[in-house]
Structure 1
Amino acid sequence: MSEMTLEELWELFPIILREHSTDYKDWYEIEKRELLNCIDSKNIMRINHIGSISVEGLIAKPTVDILLEINNESNIE
């Protein structure tokens, strides 16, 4: 891939932007629940919906970005 032109990369990995959807918040909540099912809540400092789709009305890539902060006392690597 390092030898591909930008045009070739864009064709292979297109950037798709969409109007804001009310579904985005639901998508985040689903993913948050999945994380909470996998990681003990005592290890979690904070979970936040970040990125462009977290901003209502913003045109963005329909990808859920989540910031998960783990406390220093956890043994998660």
Structure 2
Amino acid sequence: MGQAFNWENEPIFIEDANECWQVRAQAEKEHLVELLASYHLVDIEHIGSTAVPGLAAKPIIDLMAKVKDFNQIEPIINLLQKHNWIHVPTHEGEHEWRKYFIKIHKNKRMAHLHIVEGDSRKWDEHLFFRDALRSSPTLVSEYAALKKKLAEQYSHDRELYTKNKSAFIQSVIKQGNES
């Protein structure tokens, strides 16, 4: 993909919730369903903060697609790259459960795509966390406050920003598992 992008160093900025995120996610989802139909696509979901009405978030759509298995992952990677999805294998080292892609528009991230295999427990965890937030205004408020604080603290370090959100996310998932 020879182009140089500044998206890796793009500062973290949290915006108030925006209804257009749902529309953008649905359009990306429909396009991906069409693209991946012949690759044993099992499901695709809008995840992450932009999938939760009323939650402040980075204005980046997160999608997760489930495929039967990774046997055909190379043709999927090649196909997605032809449709402006940048495969980022360096972000997969600690996350062997997924293949990771970023879509850039005007030198900014506009969407992330996580492709997982059919039996990935991460699929269930992501959906559980999203749905827990959707059903709890208290969790939405707590998570929004944490995200804003971390965005100020780690505005130029996405890894630390993400790492410091994980305790909150895991506590919500753990409470769900105990229920």
TM (norm. structure 2) is: 0.34
Structure 2 match to 1:76 = 72
Cα distance in 1 for partners of 2:58, 2:25 equals 14
Aligned residues with identical type, % of pairs: 29
**Aligned-partner residue type, residue 71 of structure 1:** K
Tell whether 2:63 aligns with 1:44.
no
With a CA cutoff of 8 Å and minimum separation of 6, indicate the structure with the bigger relative contact order. 1
Choose 12-21 or 41-50, whichever is displaced more. 41-50
Q: Residue in 2 aligned with 1:7?
A: none
CA distance in 2, matches of 1:27, 1:76: 27
**1:75 deviation in Å?**
4.5
State the shift of 1:50 in Å. 0.4
Partner of 2:143: none
Match of 1:64 among 46, 53, 61: 61
Task: Give, as a single letter, the amino acid of the residue that structure 2 aligns with 1:29.
Answer: Q
| Aligned-partner residue type, residue 52 of structure 1 | S
Instruction: Give the aligned residue type for 1:30.
Output: A
Whether the 8 Å CA contact 2:46–2:64 is kept in 1: the answer is yes
Cα RMSD after superposing both structures? 1.8
Structure 2 spans left out of the alignment, 5+ residues: 1-8, 74-179
Which residue pairs with 2:15 in the alignment?
18
Find the residue that maps to 1:37 and give its secondary structure. Answer: helix
Residue 22 of structure 2 aligns with an amino acid whose one-letter code is K
Secondary structure, aligned partner of 1:65: strand
More helix per residue: 2
Give the drift of 1:37: 1.9
Q: Is the 8 A contact 2:39 2:72 kept in 1?
A: no
1:76 partner amino acid: Q
SS of equivalent residue, structure 2 residue 32:
helix
